Amino acid sequence: MEIIFPGRSTKMGAFTKTYVFQLNKGVPIPIAPKYTKSSKTGNHWNDIYELEEGQEYLIITTDITNRGNHHCSWKVVKIVNGKFKDVDIVPFFTQDIFDVLCPCLLS
């Protein structure tokens, strides 16, 4: 199923980006978007991912406002009947995750 995650990078400091990792026995494997649609300015985009039914994913969202406030998050989900279902597990945090994980989530 196709899932769309919007992103933005303004000239005023705002930044929003979602990173998707497929979990293989709790070990995250980074997934690239199937394709990306950008606005004319390039400041806004939609990353389109092809996710598989029954598979678990780690979703990391970095969301920083123009004022520098962070609204970042991460969660593990499973695709069940075409919908996200939260999964209560903690994946192995590999270097790939630390490379994209916002420092605000580490405290």
Contacts of residue 106, Cβ cutoff 8 Å, sequence gap at least 6: none
87: confidence class by pLDDT, cuts 50, 70, 90? confident
Contact of 51 with 34, CB cutoff 8 Å = no
Q: Residues 6 or more apart from 86 whose CB is under 8 A from it?
A: 75, 76, 77
Average pLDDT over residues 69-85: 90
Predicted confidence band of residue 82 (pLDDT cuts 50, 70, 90): confident
State residue 6's pLDDT score: 95
Give me the chain's average pLDDT, please: 89
Q: What is the pLDDT at residue 63?
A: 93
Average pLDDT over residues 33-60: 94
**pLDDT score, position 107:** 63
SS3 87: coil
Closest CA to 9 of 66, 70, 69, 73: 66
User: pLDDT class for 50, splitting at 50, 70, 90?
Assistant: very high
Each domain of the chain, given as residue ranges in start order, spans: 2-91
Q: Please state which CATH class domain 2-91 belongs to.
A: mainly beta
What tokens appear for 68 in the block?
């520098």
**Is the CB of residue 48 less than 8 Å from the CB of residue 10?**
no
**Distance set, CA 59 to CA 71, 91, 101 (Å):** 14, 11, 10
